[in-house]
Chains A and B, each alone.
Chain A
Amino acid sequence: MKYTYRLEGLDCANCAAKIEKAVGKLSGVREATLSFITQKLYIDADEIAMPEIILQTEKIIKKLEPDVTVKRF
């Protein structure tokens, strides 16, 4: 399944790249793409793994860019 999230307040392009890389490494994630310009995070992953992935993603974002809020698109 493909999921899209909006990362509101994402202002640092370098952090975006770091978030993209970290989310892509989570187990169960086939591919993660983060567009800095549209502030959207695309995750391609299994449905079963998603709750855990979302939890971990939010943690990663909290650590790398504390001002960003994650919204389900």
Chain B
Amino acid sequence: MKRRKIQIAAGGALLLIAVLVNIKYEWSRLALFIVAYLIVGWDVVLRAAKNVLKGRVFDENFLMSVATIGTFFIAQYAEGVAVMLFYQVGELFQLFAVAKSRKSIAGLMDIRPDYANVEKAGELIRTKPEEVRPGDIIVIKPGERIPLDAVVVDGNSFLDTSALTGEALPREVAPDSELLSGCINLSGVLTARVTKEYGQSTVSKILDLVENAAAKKSQSERFITKFARYYTPAVVIIAAALAVAPPLIFQQGFDIWVYRALSFLVVSCPCALVISIPLSFFGGIGGASRRGILIKGGNYLEALAKTEIMVFDKTGTLTKGVFEVQKIFAVGMPESAVLELAAYAESFSGHPISLSLKEAYGRQLTGGRVTRAEDIAGYGVSAIVDGREVFAGSAALMQKLNVPYTEGDSVGTVVHVAVDKKYAGHIVISDELKSDAAQAVKELKSSIKHTVMLTGDNEYAAKKVAEELGIEKVYSGLLPGDKVRKMEELFALKSAKGKIAFAGDGINDAPVLARADIGIAMGALGSDAAIEAADVVIMTDEPSKIPEAIRISKKTLRIAYQNIILAIGIKTAVLVLSALGITTMWAAIFADVGVTIIAVLNAFRALIIKKGIQKNVSVRSAV
């Protein structure tokens, strides 16, 4: 880089002297031009010569050498030196830009821990994170980065998770809290037991994901590669024809036409495009990751911008997925008895609803009272409690059993209970909307065609949520398999180029995530399954990150398109104009170097991601 700067400065100074200073003898001026040219371009010419020997002709060094040496033969010395000079300026700028962007992306991803303090026999030993084993005890001091995923054994503190989630608010941790690698310990000393080895820890998973996002290229990137493959040979062939054909046909002097042909060679490099387009996409992906949105490839970033239909799962995505018993309706037995039976029947299920029943029951469940428990997927559970056959689950379950039931008028998920094939009542459990859900939907509706919600919940609860959030279409009472089928039906609603995105928690929705054009997993921090299954991973559980992701993708795509149009437009215009002899070689220099610089600077904008709109914390309501 330094050598290039000296070449440019020295060569540029000589060129200026040769052009501006009044030199008596023409031969001395020519000597100045030649010296300037050699200073500026010796390395390019040398490389070109080497490449020709290896049989590489359409290489940019070669083309530039031909263009510049050619100008000397038609006595356009100043142009010749200037072309080489600006070519070097362009190269220097590209090197600088690429180094800078590689660095800033590395900076975005600066979450790699350097060491872990491992406690051994009462002593702390600084160890490489890769060498720490699960079960080891580590100590994290304030200001240090958590090196591996671990569980707190001792100590209280606050964690800065912003590098992973984009979330500014510190997270409180206490004994038994999970620690995710990559976060920074802010206040107290923490002693923790390592749960995963480094390669399996959150931090290395995230780094892998972002770095390897480059492996999945967008259509725009593929288009550019293809374009570049044909563009250079085409321009060179036209240049050759231009230099020879018109002079022979029209009996004109070779000089003008060679000059025009050489201008073509100057414009023959597709550099502006091959550099700026991948740069934009990588910038967009890097910027998004800074906001806690991991996009697994340029292709997904591109698809996000074309989202026409946004499909949400309800529970855990738009609502908090934390359930509370709101109301108990009993038939022929006390309310507490209905709750007790339901809690026991559901005692073997890990579903959030079961957990909330156990919590509402409040007492320790005594073992042995439940003899046979069975999960009826999508419907509920059956169990033998104290020798009585208990069914607990949805209205559909009651219908299946042919048990007449009372439809509750309350909002929420209703668990109906039947004992020995007789209706015993129902329990209403409700969830809470996430605080930013309404805003997320509102923002999405301004940029995409349809919003849809899929849920296994009853119609009443589903409609209520949808109404409150402004979601257009609701499909309720769906079994896991139904969700995929509904998803397929939705494909009919989109245009040929439009995409369907699905957002879920990534654990129960894997088949739907896979079926959608873009699968978005929410609240994925700490969940390997979700990170694995999705195309876009949102580290926090905020639905407002979805419109933000779409905003980032649209901005990136806009920048990429601007660059494609700018570069191809200017190059084509200059080619046509110089073929007609309207513009000079100076315009060609601009179309080459100038356009590259503009395009690269424009691509840098993709790295800058504005913070999302302030969340509206006051929107909170029971569902």
Contact = CB atoms under 8 A, between A and B. Distances in A.
Interface of A: 4, 11-14, 16-17, 20-21, 33, 35-40, 42, 63-64
A36 B278 contact: yes
Contact of A14 (B214, B271, B279): B271
Chain A interface SS verdict (over half): mixed
B211 A40 contact: yes
15 contacts: A4-B212, A12-B60, A13-B275, A14-B270, A14-B271, A16-B274, A17-B225, A20-B225, A33-B215, A33-B217, A36-B274, A37-B282, A38-B211, A42-B212, A64-B56
Nearest to B102: A37
B101 A13 contact: no
Given A37-B279, A42-B215, 7 more contacts: A13-B94, A36-B98, A37-B98, A37-B214, A38-B102, A38-B211, A40-B211
A37 B101 contact: yes
A37 B215 contact: no
Interface in B378-434: none
A53 to B, nearest CB: 17
B123 to A, nearest CB: 35
A7 to B, nearest CB: 12
A11 B225 contact: no
Contacts of B228: 14, 17
B511 to A, nearest CB: 24
Nearest to B273: A13
Most chain A Cβ neighbours within 10 Å, of B216, B217, B274, B282 = B274
Interface in B64-97: 94-95
B269 interface: yes
B274 A13 contact: yes
A37 B217 contact: no
A13 B225 CA distance: 10
Nearest to A42: B215
A16 B225 CA distance: 10
B98 A14 contact: no
Most chain B Cβ neighbours within 10 Å, of A4, A35, A36 = A35
Contacts of A4: 212
B88 to A, nearest CB: 14
B229 interface: yes
B303 interface: no
B99 to A, nearest CB: 9
Contacts of A42: 212, 215
Contacts of B212: 4, 40, 42
B275 A36 contact: yes
Contacts of A13: 94, 98, 271, 274-275, 278
Contacts of B95: 11
B611 interface: no
Given A20-B225, A37-B105, A40-B214, A14 B282 contact: no
Contacts of B105: 37-38
Contacts of B610: none
Nearest to B297: A33
A37 B98 CA distance: 7
B393 to A, nearest CB: 44
Interface in B170-224: 211-212, 214-217
A4 B214 CA distance: 11
A21 B60 CA distance: 17
B497 interface: no
A13 B229 CA distance: 12
B215 A14 contact: no
Contacts of B217: 33, 35
Contacts of B216: 33
Those 4 A-B pairs whose CB atoms lie nearest each other, nearest first: A35-B214, A13-B274, A42-B215, A13-B275
B472 to A, nearest CB: 38
B54 interface: yes
A23 B56 CA distance: 17
A55 to B, nearest CB: 18
Interface in B493-525: none
A12 to B, nearest CB: 8
B293 to A, nearest CB: 19
Contacts of B271: 13-14
B225 A38 contact: no
Contacts of B94: 11, 13
Contact of A35 (B215, B269, B270): B215
Given A17-B225, A37-B278, A11 B214 contact: no
Contacts of B215: 33, 35, 40, 42
A9 to B, nearest CB: 11
Interface in B261-288: 269-271, 274-275, 278-279, 282
A33 B211 CA distance: 13
Nearest to A39: B102
Nearest to A62: B54
